[in-house]
């Protein structure tokens, strides 16, 4: 690539990078969609509304942006951190191990099955996800470890913080579909039209356990854990 062409392309590339999470390139993009997600437990709002994935898909479709670098999901204190990540189709997630013990990260989700094997402390291994959908991630050693990778075909996505607020910027005007998913609730979907959607309020009822009942990577029940009693 010539130096002149690089100078011409650099401003456009920087503008896309500085737009921040939850945005992506789209012709005629100008609209903003905002709102708040609340998680209800027995009808009462919980204090923490984090980990809800909010996505918007224009009626005409939208291509996912390229994944410039691997997203990281740490294994630390026998937990996945963060518990929910979002990547575009073709995106990569790396699983560094920050524990003094080994973990075996795996998934049996259709289309994105993988098994990283036993991995000790260090940079860990990575997995590239080529099919859209929800990927349920577990550890074959520790039954209580569970996480989610959401693989998307739209660049318009954001994960809520504890206050549940979300904002999607740079959306094209017109019809589209807003989707909200949370690990403990049924998915929520609404057809909307931009501009004019207003500040949205989405209420999700927490009907699912923090860690769902699941089998190990061999399709068998987990054995009683006793190999790591000295780990705290």
Q: Tens of pLDDT along 188-210?
A: 999 999 998 889 999 999 999 98
- Structure confidence at residue 14 (pLDDT): 34
Average pLDDT over residues 139-159: 95
Domain 21-63+154-205 = CATH 3.40.50.300: no
The reply to whether 21-63+154-205 and 71-151 are identical in fold is yes
- Structure confidence at residue 7 (pLDDT): 37
- Structure confidence at residue 19 (pLDDT): 41
On the question of pLDDT at 185 being above 80, the answer is yes
CA dihedral 160, 145, 81, 91 (to 10 degrees): -80
Average pLDDT over residues 13-35: 54
From the list 129, 169, 178, the residue with the least C-alpha distance to 150 is 129
Average pLDDT over residues 83-103: 96
What are the boundaries of each domain within the chain? 21-63+154-205, 71-151
- Structure confidence at residue 230 (pLDDT): 36
Regarding pTM above 0.85, the answer is: no
CATH architecture of 71-151: Sandwich (2.60)
pLDDT band at 75 (very low <50, low <70, confident <90, very high): very high
Average pLDDT over residues 129-143: 96
Strand 146-152, strand 84-88: pairing: parallel
Place of tokens 């998934």: 107
Average pLDDT over residues 117-138: 96
Beta strand segments in the chain, E:
29-41, 44-45, 53-58, 71-72, 74-76, 79-81, 84-88, 92-97, 103-107, 114-119, 122-128, 133-139, 146-152, 157-159, 165-172, 174-181, 188-194, 199-205
- Structure confidence at residue 5 (pLDDT): 35
Average pLDDT over residues 18-30: 46
């Amino acid at each position: 690539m010539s130096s002149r062409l690089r100078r011409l392309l650099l401003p456009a590339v920087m503008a896309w990078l500085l737009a921040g999470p939850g945005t992506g390139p789209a012709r005629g993009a100008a609209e903003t969609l905002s709102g708040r997600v609340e998680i209800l437990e027995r009808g009462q709002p919980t204090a923490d509304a984090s980990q809800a994935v909010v996505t918007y898909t224009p009626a005409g479709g939208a291509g996912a942006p390229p994944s410039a670098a691997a997203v990281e999901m740490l294994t630390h204190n026998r937990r996945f951190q963060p518990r929910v990540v979002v990547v575009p189709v073709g995106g990569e997630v790396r699983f560094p191990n920050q524990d003094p013990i080994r973990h075996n990260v795996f998934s049996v989700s259709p289309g994105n099955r993988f098994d990283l094997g036993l991995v000790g402390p260090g940079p860990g291994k990575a997995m590239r996800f080529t099919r859209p959908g929800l990927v349920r991630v577990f550890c074959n050693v520790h039954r209580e470890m569970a996480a989610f990778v959401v693989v998307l075909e739209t660049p318009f996505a954001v994960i809520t913080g504890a206050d549940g607020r979300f904002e999607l910027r740079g959306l094209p005007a017109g019809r589209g579909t807003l989707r909200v998913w949370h690990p403990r609730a049924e998915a929520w979907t609404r057809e909307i039209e931009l501009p004019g959607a207003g500040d949205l309020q989405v209420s999700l009822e927490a009907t699912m356990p923090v860690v769902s009942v699941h089998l190990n990577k061999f399709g068998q029940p987990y054995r009683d854990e006793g190999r790591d009693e000295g780990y705290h």
